[in-house]
Amino acid sequence: MSNLLVTGGAGFIGANFVSYWRRLRPSDRIVILDALTYAGNFESVASLCDDDVCRFVRGDICDAAAVATLFKKYDFDLVVNFAAESHVDRSIYASQVFTRTNVQGTHTLLDAALAAWRPSFQRRRFHHISTDEVFGSLGPHDPPFTETSRYDPKSPYAASKAASDFLVRAYSHTHGLPVVITNCSNNYGPYQFPEKLIPLMIMNALAGEQLPIYGDGGNVRDWLFVEDHCAAIGLVLQHGRLGETYNIGGGQEMANIDLVRLLCDEIDRRFATDRNLAVRFPACPAAKGNSTRALMRFVKDRPGHDRRYAICADKLAHELGFCAQTPLAKGLSLTVDWYVNNEDWWRSIVSGAYREWIALQYGAAN
């Protein structure tokens, strides 16, 4: 039995991971530490925190005293650090909070782990969740990123993640802290905050609002279903070699415009087979038998928009036998189902502060 700290566990990937880990190792004790920023939602984990096995603590990873108290109280064997500011567009408007949480917050956790775990690191492990964006942008014919690709972050978000990765590596090299890092590609699936491409498109489509596509829509991302990502993290957390980095990808590259078309067609199919949807979402073009693609609009590009990301996940496949299992079409279908069936979850988000962000990002400038 292990004691596990999951930071950022009320966010998109963290919440999916807690659910996954509870199924995988039901007797492990889990503490979720999350500040519940605009992107964190207690409702995403409420049903998982209804017993002594899993506890929710609202707190900030930059708060050294609070973090040290948690380490003392729970004697963690394992830490998985998901907590972060994660949206590239927001880092273009205001990036100081990205440095604070992603760099200073990770640094604070590393210090707490070091202080609590020294002198013996046996059974301990600090798993840091990073991103493929630290490697920069690929041209159309470049080979995918490997674990040894040069760091070349292009957005303030990516730079803050790169800095946190370097700190994690430095604590391993200097202090012998038992760390492992995973760098993954674009996740999608249940519980993703609706500022990100896929949930934004689904919710706008259902509301009959425009589907904003940055630039020419030719930017390419490698899409990874969140359940597959959680399974890969689970493997690396248990069996990955200490001090190593592992890439995790979906092996499914697609240009944004093609992805949005797929989503529109998926929504059209739902409305064609479920007449109730036209009653629930009358503003969606599919409610009147029209194509949801009619809502697609090209808008002003993201400044410094990385053209292409692609991941080579061979190391993970060779060492730990892992390959992502969910084909993109199936993952998108599951994701559309989840958002259609969990309207309460996203309705509670798309008010107040979220509306202000949408007005700032997609308002007059476009």
The span from the CA of 363 to the CA of 142, in Å, is: 35
- Which tokens go with 213? 């596509």
Q: Which of 18, 54, 168, 184 binds ligand NAD (CB under 6 A)?
A: 184
Residue where the block lists tokens 């790169």: 162
Contacting ligand NAD within 56-95 (CB under 6 A): 60-62, 82-86
Per-residue mark of binding to ligand NAD, 129-168 (x: CB under 6 A): x-x-----------------------------x-------
Q: Are 228 and 268 in contact (CB under 8 A)?
A: no
Nearer to ligand DAU, 60 or 165 (CB): 165
The footprint of ligand DAU (CB under 6 A) covers 86-88, 131-133, 185-186, 196-197, 200, 212-214, 219, 221, 256, 302, 309
The footprint of ligand NAD on this chain (CB under 6 A) covers a number of residues equal to: 30
214 binds, among ligand DAU, ligand NAD, none (CB under 5 to 8 A by kind): ligand DAU
Q: Which of 21, 171, 193, 322 binds ligand NAD (CB under 6 A)?
A: 193
- Which tokens go with 281? 């979402």
Measured from the CB of residue 133, what is the shortest distance to ligand DAU in angstroms?
A: 5
Nearer to ligand DAU, 159 or 284 (CB): 159
Helix-then-strand count for the chain, H and E? 14, 12
Closest CA to 57 of 5, 113, 124: 5
200 binds, among ligand DAU, ligand NAD, none (CB under 5 to 8 A by kind): ligand DAU
Backbone φ and ψ for 241, nearest 5 degrees, come out as -75, 135
DSSP string, 216-282: TS--EEEEEEHHHHHHHHHHHHHHSPTT-EEEE--S-EEEHHHHHHHHHHHHHHHHHH-THHHHH-T
CA distances from 349 to 38, 39, 88, 338, 353 (A): 9, 9, 19, 15, 8
Using the contact rule CB under 6 A, the part of the chain among 28-36, 113-121, 198-206, 297-305 near ligand NAD is: 28-36
Q: Are 74 and 2 in contact (CB under 8 A)?
A: no
Q: Report the catalytic residues.
A: 132-133, 157
Measured from the CB of residue 1, what is the shortest distance to ligand NAD in angstroms?
A: 25
11 binds, among ligand DAU, ligand NAD, none (CB under 5 to 8 A by kind): ligand NAD
36 binds, among ligand NAD, ligand DAU, none (CB under 5 to 8 A by kind): ligand NAD
The span from the CA of 113 to the CA of 67, in Å, is: 9
Q: Are 267 and 206 in contact (CB under 8 A)?
A: yes
Nearer to ligand DAU, 76 or 362 (CB): 362
Q: Closest CB to ligand NAD belongs to which residue?
A: 11
309 binds, among ligand DAU, ligand NAD, none (CB under 5 to 8 A by kind): ligand DAU
HSE, side-chain direction, 13 A CA sphere, residue 285: 18
- 63 C-beta neighbours (distance < 10 Å), count: 15
- 36 belongs to the binding site for ligand NAD (CB under 6 A): yes
- 256 belongs to the binding site for ligand NAD (CB under 6 A): no
Positions touching ligand NAD (CB under 6 A) are 7-8, 10-14, 34-37, 39-40, 60-62, 82-86, 101, 105, 129, 131, 161, 184, 186-187, 193
